[in-house]
Structure 1
Amino acid sequence: MYPQLPAGFRFGMSTSAYQIEGAADAAGKGPSIWDTFTARPGTVVNGQDGRVAIDHYHRYESDVALIAAAGVQDYRFSFSWPRILAGDVAFYDRLVDAVLGAGLRPVPTLYHWDLPQELEDAGGWMNRDTAYRFADYTDTLALRLGDRVRHWITMNEMNVHTLYGYALTDHAPARGLGLGALPAGHHQLLAHGLAAQVLRTRAVGSVGIANQHFPVTPAGDDPADVAAAALFSELTNWTFSDPILRGEYPNELIRAGIGTSGARLDRDLELIGAPLDFYGVNYYEPTMIEAPRAGKDYRGVLEVDIPSDMPFSPVPVKCDERTDFGWAIVPSGLTEILVTLHERYPNLPPVIITENGASFHDAGPGPDGRVADPRRIRYLDAHLRAVAEAIAAGVRVDGYYVWSALDNFEWAAGYEQRFGLIHVDYTDLSRTPKDSYYWYRDLIAAQPRS
């Protein structure tokens, strides 16, 4: 009845600080780039922001209890760098204690896109010094929480943050630099390497990263389409994994664009490529690419529009169903990208699916108190079967975390998109587990025991 994963496989749920915490001014917290971005007219659906979000900052105990009641073993959350910068580490003391007290393993992410605005004012990720400030921030958390937190994720989806926020203007900080954003990607990779070094020095447990990956397919056999798809995949997939897992960039175009060269780059890559304990994979949908056709309108194909002067353009992926966010539902793409990673990187560490999930416009509780979301159940079932297929093909996958535990602030989409296993009423912030939550609970209970 349920997908079967190996004994010892770990199930979890994921969230991120800016999307759920709220409490924008608690304990003197300063603004992040997302506070600045959402304050600009026209940046977010309905002018919404994360100042209150779902008020997890004040409701964390009941939220953690709900997450634990689903039977998961792991809870992946993130720290707010601006909150830590303001000195409010005590909130994470309380949160970690609550997570452990509920019988869960805390798996925090150090950076999930909410850069302190004061660092952005100094250049943000285009400034190499930001990577060193990140190492200092990591050390603060390792010293404070390393006695209880034993599994750490350094960065989340550097490719998305670089593309949407630095190359384009769809996310904070909306720099619009095009290919000139490549230094921001390199500096995030350097930050990962420096943070991993700090965590190793402090001996606080296992270290990993969460990268988004997806298969990229050419729209046809035309050599121009094949080349365009290869370049797009190198920029969005391999630029952010090759340095970590191969110690190099995928091609000379990218290597020349990152703004660091010579002996300094060699030292950076040695740091970035230090071995990891696990490798997080976030998967949502595949992409199809062609060489741009003059006069063709490519707007609306992806969540963000690729500028017309780029050497690649997206075309719609053929699929039977899409999420309410318009994302193609292709579970086989998860198997494909896991097998591709396994084949590309002989030294690939054990993989954890650190994010996978779908947005559907779930209605609130009905007269019976239920939130019916059968499409999400089908989605999760199919993707867990895809993970099982990858494992059967020889990929070591040790865990799977649903995105997300709760409905939340979905970046530029505001509160329109609901990814949660737990429904949040945005008028009174009440929580109601959806049918998918109970399905996930029963799935976990049906797994073989280690």
Structure 2
Amino acid sequence: MPALTRQTSFSLSRSDFPDDFKFGTSTSAYQIEGSKFGGAGSSHWDTFATSPGNVVNFENGSIACDHYHKWQGDLDLMRDLGIDSYRFSSSWARVMPEGKGAVNAEGLDFYDRLVDGLLERNIEPHLTLYHWELPSALSDLGGWQNRDIADHFANYAEIMITRMGDRLESVATFNEPWCITWLSHYHGIHAPGLRDIRAATRASHHVLLSHAKAVAILRSMEQKNLGIVLNFEHTTPFDDQESSIEAARIAEGIYNRWFLGGLFKGAYPEDVVTYLEPYLPTGWQDDMAAINAPLDWLGINYYTRNLVVEKEPCEGCTLPNFTSEPGPLPKTEMNWEVYPQGLSTLLRWISETHTGALPLTVTENGMANDDHLIDGEVDDQERIAYLDMHFKAALEVIEDGVPLTGYFVWSFMDNFEWALGYDKRFGIIHVDFDTLERLPKASYHAFKAFLA
């Protein structure tokens, strides 16, 4: 495998970007907070992690980075870094342990303090309401397969915004609907770990319906700057076989065009509906106008490309039996190819075909690296090179007129990486998961110099 590039500093600086362009970092609640603290209820990730084979080494997010207790020191590190903005998520199970009904005051107070702490350090708070943590009590009722979840989510959104909406710079309803639905209900890799095309298809509609109901309520509350965060891969056929071309078209349609189509065209892509319509909930068409309600911005998460090939055709399969093949480019510790031109290509395509003049933000981009703590330092030069290449891709599209307004690096600190436990490190801050000590890596210092 080709070696990853190494460099000690960024080739660009903050001054190369527009004056009002915002740089920040991102995290998510379950990955850093510690789910056993502060009266949080059980989420489906807590239960998913207890079953053999679901998570590396039986690890879980019960302690994670203990950001719940260490948040002030973490915010000081953000202030010293010099970022404009911080994107974080709230845990539904922390705020409402049963997913509906009673509110856990201690959990709501935690996010209230966090927002105030950010503002005291002159950092803009950007809240994501859902980053993959469904309260177990709602999972017991069918979770995202159950249409009723849309009303429960909208109620949770109202509670959060009633408490702190006046101090938030932006609000995203969901992070990565494809992961919430397909990765979790069809591929079975994330909680709840299902492998059921009907479950995945229904979930993919109900997540967007939940988004629509939450947006409607928050608009009625005059909440500003509402959006959603979608994940994208630059998807192409692995070879020129007709079967690979068709497989790539459907894979790309589900991954990239399904959620974009619903949100910005009020219609799912016809080529994908051809395959999935039997599994959509009854009356789904009646929801599309609400799902198509205007937004103030769109978040884009990007990490890699996807080269798709059809495996041996399977008798009776609803979808092409597609899989991903590794390409020849350098790869991160996730075995993801480093392909920064995919980011620029996708940003142009999204703007040209779906969003027009709507502001776009790169809400996640970063890499898992083979980091090692040696003599009190983590010299992650590969991460600096990775981010530098993607910053260049972002600047390129800004100069072409794409309305890109911000960039959040994933992740602020090493954390619980879902089914991969604590094995993969994405952070620009090293976390010792035995002592929970934080140590800025070389990438943190390089990013700080870039921002200065």
TM-score (norm 2): 0.91
Counterpart of 2:72 (choices 61, 64, 76) is 61
Partner of 2:323: 314
**Stretch deviating more after TM superposition (286-295 or 352-361):** 286-295
Partner of 2:193: 174
Structure 2 letter corresponding to 1:440: F
| Cα distance between partner residues in 2 of 1:348 and 1:44 | 41
SS of equivalent residue, structure 1 residue 285: strand
Q: How many residues align?
A: 429
* Native 8 Å contact 1:150 1:204 kept in 2: no
Structure 2 letter corresponding to 1:65: D
1:292 Cα deviation (Å)? 2.4
Instruction: Map 1:286-305 to 2 at 5 A.
Output: 286-293=305-312
| Cα distance between partner residues in 2 of 1:361 and 1:308 | 38
1:310 Cα deviation (Å)? 4.3
Change in CA separation of 1:255 and 1:320 when aligned onto 2, cut-off 3 Å: closer
| Cα distance between partner residues in 1 of 2:254 and 2:402 | 24
1:134 Cα deviation (Å)? 0.1
Partner of 2:285: 265
* 1:71 equivalenced with 2:82 (yes/no): yes
| Cα distance between partner residues in 2 of 1:104 and 1:81 | 23
Instruction: Map 1:30-429 to 2 at 5 A.
Output: 30-86=41-97, 87=104, 88-178=107-197, 180-251=199-270, 252-253=273-274, 256-257=277-278, 259-262=280-283, 265-266=285-286, 268-293=287-312, 310-347=319-356, 349-364=358-373, 366-367=374-375, 369-429=376-436
Q: CA RMSD in A?
A: 1.8
* Native 8 Å contact 2:33 2:67 kept in 1: yes
Change in CA separation of 1:328 and 1:132 when aligned onto 2, cut-off 3 Å: same
| Cα distance between partner residues in 1 of 2:378 and 2:309 | 40
* Native 8 Å contact 2:309 2:325 kept in 1: no
Structure 2 letter corresponding to 1:127: N
* Native 8 Å contact 1:279 1:348 kept in 2: no
1:436 Cα deviation (Å)? 0.3
TM-score (norm 1): 0.92
Unaligned 5+ runs, structure 1 = 296-306, 446-450
SS of equivalent residue, structure 2 residue 134: coil
| Cα distance between partner residues in 2 of 1:78 and 1:92 | 9
Change in CA separation of 1:323 and 1:30 when aligned onto 2, cut-off 3 Å: same
SS of equivalent residue, structure 1 residue 345: helix
| Cα distance between partner residues in 2 of 1:278 and 1:439 | 29
**Stretch deviating more after TM superposition (435-444 or 116-125):** 435-444
1:390 Cα deviation (Å)? 1.8
Structure 1 letter corresponding to 2:437: S
SS of equivalent residue, structure 1 residue 406: coil
1:222 Cα deviation (Å)? 2.7
* 1:440 equivalenced with 2:451 (yes/no): no
| Cα distance between partner residues in 1 of 2:42 and 2:312 | 42
1:255 Cα deviation (Å)? 6.1
Change in CA separation of 1:308 and 1:324 when aligned onto 2, cut-off 3 Å: farther
Structure 1 letter corresponding to 2:397: A
Structure 1 letter corresponding to 2:340: P
| Cα distance between partner residues in 2 of 1:19 and 1:198 | 28
Partner of 1:21: 33
SS of equivalent residue, structure 1 residue 243: helix
Unaligned 5+ runs, structure 2 = 1-10, 98-103
* Native 8 Å contact 2:372 2:378 kept in 1: yes
Partner of 2:8: none
SS of equivalent residue, structure 1 residue 75: strand
| Cα distance between partner residues in 2 of 1:134 and 1:258 | 22
